[in-house]
Chain A
Amino acid sequence: MRSPLTPEMATQEVQLNETLAHLKTESETLKTKLEEERAKLHDVELHQVAEKVEGLGQFVMKTRRTLKGHGNKVLCMDWCKDKRRIVSSSQEHAVTMPCTWVMACAYAPSGCAVACGGLDNKCSVYPLSLDKNENLAAKKKSVAMHTNYLSACSFTNSDMQILTSSGDGTCALWDVESGQLLQSFHGHAADVLCLDLAPSETGNTFVSGGCDKKANVWDMRSGQCIQSFETHESDINSVRYYPSGDAFASGSDDATCRLYDLRADREVAIYSKESIIFGVSSVDFSLSGRLLFGGYNDYTINVWDVLKGTRVSILFGHENRVSTLRVSPDGTAFCTGSWDHTLRIWA
């Protein structure tokens, strides 16, 4: 029960509200100004410039391997740097974890460990062993602690740091050995669903996407958000850098994929079709960045010509939602995981 307002408090409250309203107006004005400034640089469309690029031929992409081993929905997968091994997680277990819905998993760069987590709000690292009898669960190391589900995790260029995103609206960078929080990233207004590290050797940035329809680019050193993009109409389920690191693609529940260029600071392409009405769960680029692969909730994979903006191919095969999609490190294939309990390798 609140105590009755004194006249001074009442005035203060009114003043605060006025200031808040005043600030909001200032913010709106700045937003409009920024949009205007950026629009001046929008002198042409990417697909127009790309008209002079030679068209791609017919593609023959097929399932080359089907991996059946999970007893439930496959939610996430990652490639090992050796280009041949993968780790995947599902609704029941990953590496004998005692909880359902393991939504994130990642391979360590050395190939000697995997990280995973989900509804347990944690990210744990498991060493890998060729010895089948070894009890890996006992050797697990709890690294990250969030206050809501873990949506994605990724090792930075070493086995020693992990970057995580969570339903609690934050991302965080952790030291694996000590479990210490090195940096946290605040700015999303809702669950963060995905992240991707910039491919640069020296870069210290990453991009995240969330249920607030925003994609944010972060400086890992300072924890600051350095760029933000908000053009999607629904949750952003997946973000992935273009191989040069100058742009990134996103996939959303609004059934579109989009390309954002960091130097132009705007969306430069949108990949959509009238007949595609189900959300995109996962996106990744081919090695040159010419193709964008999207896994969709309508069980298909759509392959897009990144420059021309057209769809190059639609791939059928999965019998339920495609929940995860990743191109192999050497670009020779991509792997998809699905709610139909299987993983497929396409080439």
Chain B
Amino acid sequence: MAEGAKEPVGVGTTDPEEDSPNMIVYRKIEDIVTRIQDENAGGVSIRTVKSFLSKIPSVVSGADIVQWLMKNLSVEDPAEAIHLGSLVAAHGYIFPISDHVLMLKDDGTLYRFQSPYFWPSNCWEPENTDYAIYLCKRTMQNKARLELADYEAENLARLQRAFARKWEFIFMQAEAQVKIDRKKDKAERKILDSQERAFWDVHRPVPGCVNTTEMDIRKCRRERNPHRVKKSVYGVPDDGQSQPSPVHISSQPTKKTTKEDVQKEINFLNSQLDRHCMKVSKVADSLMSYTEQFMEYDPFVSATEPSNPWISDDMSFWDLEASRDPSQQRVKKWGFSLEEALKDPAGRDQFLKFLESEFSSENLRFWLAVQDLKRRPLQDVSSRAQEIWQEFLAEGAPSPINLDSHSYERTSQNIKDPGRYSYEDAQEHIFKLMKSDSYARFLRSNIYQDLLLARKKQPADTEQGRRTSLEKFTRSVGKSLTGKRLTGLMQSS
């Protein structure tokens, strides 16, 4: 066992990377385990348990830990407490004394707390040489409880092959460790042995168990001392052959704040001060009413009609959505806002149909054309922008739209160097126009109302109420213009 097992060994005590993501979690867990062990402050009682001929020092039951977590972290569900406790164990902060699998059980299973020396926050990344020394030393000690598990025996065999040339060195180190261990008090050794084993259970987990030392590669380079010289658990000097950690190193140097940066910040802050903001009470009302309005459409909150395909395995819900023959519920949504109407392809179609019946579709067609322009590949943008100008805005355009002189001026300037956003102002103006004028008329129109109230053109069908939506649209398939597409859909599904 390595010397100095009492204090945490860190790589430097003042650490600028204390707030790295892994550290944040470790510190929280450490806070928890420190509190659990504090018997004076409502912690669990850590005691010695008598077992057959021997005593088991410094243990606590799983049930006690679960109880403590529930009480002190406001956890109502034991399953949640067990899950959290198992994670604390999986990260190496508590461990079962008679098992390699690091999880928490809500029963009399006995657990021990890990020594701060072995805490993951010390950034251990033990080498295989250390692991080999450990397994080797285990075989030297004649104790049933220290017998190697199958996977450990396999690991040892593998390491013996890998380190064939320096096995004599490893063997000697193992012998030295055994000597050091023998000098310790019996009870203390029991505890230290178990803590050492738990340490290796974290860094060389049982096959099938999660390796909690794995890191998100995006966060690696901010760990303490990414090029760290790895310290050995058993004080073995680094022979220069240790593998560097697979750390993703940043290719850019840390930027120093320049005058320009701060000036930019100042400009930004000034623009923010000029912004007109709403009160929280007002936005809260707005968020609430939006959510309220859409809750009937939210499959997680309101049961869908027909059933959610993921739950019932019945695809009718999707077939219905795919049809251009929309349900009343769907048509209702178009009435919420012009945005909602345009979001739905069926809504867009119906609005266009209405406008065409009034011979005033140029506004919507312009809006759609500008949307399309923004989605074009770069090389098509210029020509397409020109086409839009010719169609909607030029002198004698076939579909002239009504722009205020200001927007017209701006747009004609933009079009001299045509780009994706040349028509932004114009589009915004036209959208407002449609919203205040034709959209309102659309909602009052027969085209819309017929769909909303499901007024069918066929003779009154008194049995309609009893049929399902699917049956209704199946009936209208033959009469609908999109009938051919739908039957195709029905046949293939």
Contact = CB atoms under 8 A, between A and B. Distances in A.
A287 B310 contact: no
Contact of B84 (A275, A286, A290): A275
A342 interface: no
Interface in B235-255: 248, 250-252, 255
Nearest to A30: B269
Interface stretch (A5-13, A123-131, A221-229): A221-229
B29 interface: yes
A134 interface: no
A298 B87 contact: yes
B144 interface: no
Nearest to A147: B251
B284 A244 contact: no
Nearest to A61: B300
Given A157-B374, A202-B427, A289-B290, A38 B277 contact: yes
A184 interface: no
A42 B280 CA distance: 5
Interface residues of A, number: 110
Given A180-B378, A264-B277, A34 B272 contact: yes
Contacts of A46: 280, 284, 287
Contact of A253 (B24, B73, B269, B309): B24
Nearest to B307: A332
A41 interface: yes
Interface string B248-282: 10111001011100110110111011010111111
A254 interface: yes
A182 interface: yes
B382 to A, nearest CB: 13
Contacts of A161: 375
Contacts of B420: 182
A66 interface: no
Given A23-B263, A41-B280, A274 B73 contact: yes
A268 B273 CA distance: 19
Contacts of A78: none
Interface string A91-116: 00000000001010000000000000
Contacts of A307: 287-288, 291
Interface residues of B, number: 89
Given A34-B273, A331-B300, A242 B287 contact: yes
Given A34-B272, A84-B318, A275-B80, A246 B287 contact: yes
Contacts of B272: 34, 227-228, 265
Contact of B280 (A19, A45, A243): A45
A20 B256 CA distance: 12
A234 B288 contact: no
B222 interface: yes
Contacts of B29: 277
A21 B294 CA distance: 51
Interface in B316-339: 317-318, 321, 339
A156 B375 contact: yes
B375 A268 contact: no
A119 B248 CA distance: 9
Interface in A136-163: 147-149, 151, 156-161
Interface string A309-320: 000001010011
Contacts of B309: 332
A345 interface: yes
Dominant SS among interface residues on chain A: loop
Q: Give the one of B293, B342, B375, B421 with max A CB within 10 A.
A: B375
B201 to A, nearest CB: 17
Given A45-B280, A147-B251, A288-B298, A27 B377 contact: no
Interface in B49-94: 69, 73-75, 77, 79-81, 83-84, 87
Contact of A331 (B32, B80, B266, B299): B299
B281 A44 contact: yes
A343 interface: no
Contacts of A274: 73-74
B273 A33 contact: yes
Contacts of B286: 244, 246, 263
Contact of A279 (B25, B69, B278, B283): B25
B295 A275 contact: no
Interface in A222-256: 225, 227-228, 233-235, 242-244, 246-247, 253-255
A263 to B, nearest CB: 4
A176 interface: yes
A151 to B, nearest CB: 7
Interface stretch (B212-220, B390-398, B457-465): B212-220
Given A264-B278, A274-B73, 9 more contacts: A148-B250, A178-B377, A201-B371, A202-B428, A263-B278, A277-B25, A279-B24, A279-B25, A331-B297
Interface of A: 16, 19-20, 23-24, 26-27, 30-31, 33-34, 37-38, 41-46, 49-50, 53, 56, 59, 61, 64-65, 83-84, 101, 103, 119, 147-149, 151, 156-161, 167-169, 175-178, 180, 182, 189, 191, 193, 200-202, 204, 211, 221, 225, 227-228, 233-235, 242-244, 246-247, 253-255, 261, 263-266, 268, 273-275, 277-279, 286-291, 297-300, 306-307, 314, 316, 319-320, 330-333, 339-340, 345, 347
A-B residue pairs, 5 tightest by C-beta: A158-B375, A288-B298, A288-B294, A177-B377, A347-B310
